[in-house]
Amino acid sequence: MREVWIRGAAMTPFGKHRDRSARDLVEEAVTGALSDAEVAASEVQFVYVANALAGLIDGQECMRAQTVLRRTGLMGVPMVGVENADCSGSSALHLAWQAVAHEAYDCVAVVGYEKFDHGDRAKSYRALNSGMDLSELSDIFGPGSTDRSVLLQYGGAHSRGDGSDLFEPTPLAEVAVKNHYHASLNPCAHYREPVTAAQVLASRQIAGPLTQLMCAPLSDGAACVVVCAAQFATGRRGGARIAASVLRSGRGDDLRAPLSLLPGAMRAYEAAALGPEDLNVAEVHDVTAIAELFVCGRLGFYRPGEVDRVMSERTTWLGGQLPVNPSGGLLARGHPLGATGIAQVVELTWQLEGRCGPRQVESARAALAHNFGGWIGTDVGAGVIHILVR
């Protein structure tokens, strides 16, 4: 297989963009990424467009890619939509990596976006429900359930599956404090104000120990990367090489199988010839504070039972041994589902290029992005891991 590089990366600010359309957000991200890559629209050979919920939010089905790219100069280029719950964006990037690595194309654009209808929260929650098996939701809560699936997904990350890995409120609050502080340094973040542990614990309860500030907001936004063969656009300084790209579906109902995160991580580390000890920075899917602690432990960032030490020593803060979510993560940078996985990779590409200003991780050379989507049975619906290097 050929080496695959990210040559351009851009994103919009995340937030509640009530006065902007999905097309407007996508155009900004695509224009920024093409400019960053020093690539013209005419040089792009294929486009993957990721989105999770537009069909349910505004009714745009069937041709989401062509609809949002209509005015970007990319019409006429082959394009397809990718839908895979919260990891739609990282799934699209995986497909782009495959296409370039296996010599189908030399230059591929990957864009993800989401635009919520913030005037009707019930509609947003009904859309989020589609991130799990609706027949299962109906069996548990009865017909007409609205936002209960959100609580189920929050609870799904609560343990390894046998209930033995529960987290106390204090370390969960510290995760939220960390990520909101990191986001205060990120001009693209949804939330730009630091918070205290007391504020986190006092915010509205969502489920179990989780409060509102421990859970990701519903954000609007778009992100884009330009993925190229090593020989393409070599005159551009910088970029990041994709050393590993792994996509797995969850185990569903089979409790004999491991959670998909474990074999996925092993495969990614093997493909990149790196281990967790070689990483300098990571972006992980912290849809809740519980999810960040759970995922980091399974990725090998620390051993079981070390959560209290890791949080007290600020191991995962900027300046720590392995900064996690320097962008602010989903908790504070925001979570526009279709754009989230690409935004993680945008952040890590910028980190590896040394372009992150006050949130820059010193001497970053290897980075990991983890993104999951949905929940079905006893595991996530899908999970994607990318490892980037310079």
pLDDT digits (tens, 9 = 90+) for 13-53: 999 999 999 999 999 999 999 999 999 999 999 999 999 99
What's the angle, vertex CA 69, arms to CA 216 and CA 29, rounded to 5? 45
Residues 175 and 308 in one domain: yes
pTM of the model: 0.94
pLDDT digits (tens, 9 = 90+) for 47-92: 999 999 999 998 989 999 999 999 999 999 999 999 999 999 999 9
Domain extent for 30: 4-118+220-241
What is the reported pLDDT for 159? 40
Is 103 inside a domain boundary?
yes
| CB neighbours of residue 156 within 10 Å | 24
Number of domains comprising the chain: 2
Is 126 inside a domain boundary?
no
- As a whole number of angstroms, the distance between CA 11 and CA 286 comes to 19
Yes or no: say if 290 and 157 are a contact pair by the CB < 8 Å rule.
Answer: yes
What is the reported pLDDT for 140? 54
Q: Where are the alpha helices (DSSP H) in the chain?
A: 22-37, 54-57, 64-68, 88-101, 121-129, 134-141, 148-156, 169-183, 197-202, 261-272, 289-298, 307-312, 329-332, 337-353
What is the reported pLDDT for 141? 52
Which residue positions in the chain have pLDDT lower than 70?
Answer: 137-166, 233-237
Residues 142 and 33 in one domain: no
Which residues neighbour 270 within 8 Å (Cβ) at sequence distance 6 or greater? none
What is the reported pLDDT for 124? 82
- As a whole number of angstroms, the distance between CA 129 and CA 136 comes to 11
CATH number for the domain harbouring residue 204: 3.40.47.10
What is the reported pLDDT for 161? 41
* Signed CA dihedral, 33, 34, 39, 45: sign only: positive
| Residue from 214, 249, 219, 232 nearest 384 by CA | 249
What is the reported pLDDT for 148? 42
Residues 148 and 182 in one domain: yes
**For the sheet containing 366-376, what is the strand order?**
79-82, 46-50, 107-114, 221-229, 4-11, 240-249, 379-389, 366-376, 281-283
What is the reported pLDDT for 377? 87
What is the reported pLDDT for 236? 65
What is the reported pLDDT for 168? 83
Is 324 inside a domain boundary?
yes
Tokens of 9: 């990366």
Is 183 inside a domain boundary?
yes
Residues 100 and 172 in one domain: no
Residues 106 and 165 in one domain: no
